[in-house]
Amino acid sequence: MRKLENILVTGGAGFIGSNFIRYVFKNTGFKGKIINLDKLTYAGNAESLSDINSEFGDERYSFVHGDICDKDLVSRVFIDYNIDTVIHFAAESHVDRSIHGPAEFMNTNIIGTFTLLDAAKNFWNGRSDVLFHHISTDEVYGSLGDSGYFFETTPYDPRSPYSASKASSDHIVMAYNHTYGLPVTITNCSNNYGPYQFPEKLIPVIIFNIMDNKTLPVYGDGKNIRDWLFVDDHNSAVWAVVNNGRNGETYNVGGENEWENIKLVTALCEKMALIKGKDKNNFESLINYVKDRPGHDRRYAINCDKIKLELGWKQTVSFDQGLDLTIDWYLKNTQWISNIRSGEYKKWIEKNYGSR
């Protein structure tokens, strides 16, 4: 039986991590404590959890500002908070950035994961009522053609510095399970979307640029396909695995919701036009086909029968509902947006892409 009382969430100030912490406190009946360890890189925003801090701070929620590569700090966190569960989200997560500057991806995603695993092994010292859950991605499986799906048994074939660093960390997690008996689980998930997503990923980029009347950058021919999943459906999957997933197993998590990029961009133009009371052509005319991402994976599609059959998980938010909810959140949270945009993110975008 897993203890699940003092959970160390890494990267909890990022997009999925912050939604996950909110989801656990608000939707699961969890009675324990969450410790959020985050370096607050350009992608981390402590403001995304200000509501949780006010409601659960001190007693049941603590924020630790620090780097998962810092061995001494990580060991201290395990001891100070008597950690029995790790849910490891922290990563450099953006494929384009990994092409411009891979070093930080190798450091955080590989060395950071290793540092956490080693601290867990030393602190838990053979216990079996503990768990290290690692958040991974479908990108480790490579790229699909027009047909077929990624299964848990699909051989790894990562193609970007980001996915190679994630694949590497997955292997280290499994090595700690096989070699040292560390209790672990992994989830490999498809593209998430929802509130608090950093405006460098496709959906928020398009929403933001429509709001600002800027061009809508579509890479290559726009026919690459992604499988979109609402972030709280990912969160419920992670929670199901952390509670009931089998030790040493990988579970794929997907939206079963494939969209060509250009069709998704057009759908967002239509939704925004409806909200703003304008003709959709006003926004569709902003679409701008730009230079393709080097090594751009063509299609991702997840088969998630295993988690459905074994753990009874399923998606609950349709794409139509999820996009409406997401757009509504961005339209209402203009302060969060301008705070994000006045920081590091804006400087990086301007340096690498100009003011698009």
Residues annotated as catalytic (active site), given as ranges: 138-139, 162
Provide, rounded to whole angstroms, the least separation between the CB of residue 289 and ligand DAU.
9
Provide, rounded to whole angstroms, the least separation between the CB of residue 163 and ligand NAD.
9
Q: How far is CA 167 from the centre of its chain?
A: 15
Nearest residue to 175 (alpha-carbon basis) of 264, 112, 113: 113
Please count the residues of the chain.
Answer: 356
Residue 50's contacts (CB-CB under 8 Å, 6 or more residues apart) are none
25 forms bridges with which residues in the sheet? none
Please report, as residue ranges, which positions from 23 to 52 form the binding site for ligand NAD (by CB under 6 A). Answer: 38-41, 43-44
Residue 62 binds ligand NAD (CB under 6 A): no
8, 9, 14, 62: residue in contact with ligand NAD (rule CB under 6 A): 14
End-to-end CA distance of the chain: 52
Residue type, 62: S
Residue written as token pair 């005319």: 285
User: Which of residues 67 and 286 has its CB atom nearest to ligand NAD in the complex?
Assistant: 67
Q: Which among ligand DAU, ligand NAD, none contacts residue 135 (Cβ within 5 to 8 A by kind)?
A: ligand NAD
The one segment of 43-51, 115-123, 214-222, 271-279 that binds ligand DAU by CB under 6 A = 214-222
Orientation of helix 261-276 relative to helix 202-211, angle to 10°: 40
Q: Give the residue at shortest CB distance from ligand DAU.
A: 137
156, 219, 329, 345: residue in contact with ligand DAU (rule CB under 6 A): 219
Residue 112 binds ligand NAD (CB under 6 A): yes
Contact string (CB under 6 A) for ligand DAU, positions 274-303, x = contact: -------------------x------x---
CA distances from 251 to 126, 298, 335, 337, 354 (A): 24, 22, 37, 33, 39
User: Which of residues 183 and 217 has its CB atom nearest to ligand DAU in the complex?
Assistant: 217
β-strand 184-189 against 249-253: which pairing, if any? parallel
The one segment of 5-13, 51-59, 174-182, 344-352 that binds ligand NAD by CB under 6 A = 5-13
DSSP secondary structure code for residue 144 in this structure: B
Q: Is the dihedral of CA 214, 42, 293, 196 positive or negative?
A: negative
Whether 89 contacts 16, CB under 8 Å: yes
Provide, rounded to whole angstroms, the least separation between the CB of residue 325 and ligand DAU.
18
Q: Is the dihedral of CA 326, 319, 158, 352 positive or negative?
A: negative
68, 95, 225, 323: residue in contact with ligand NAD (rule CB under 6 A): 68
135, 225, 237, 268: residue in contact with ligand NAD (rule CB under 6 A): 135
For residue 183, the tally of other CB atoms under 10 A from its CB is 19
Binding residues for ligand NAD, per CB under 6 A?
Answer: 10-11, 13-17, 38-41, 43-44, 67-69, 89-93, 108, 112, 135, 137, 166, 189, 191-192, 198
Contact positions vs ligand DAU (CB under 6 A): 93-95, 137-139, 190-191, 201-202, 205, 217-219, 224, 226, 261, 293, 300
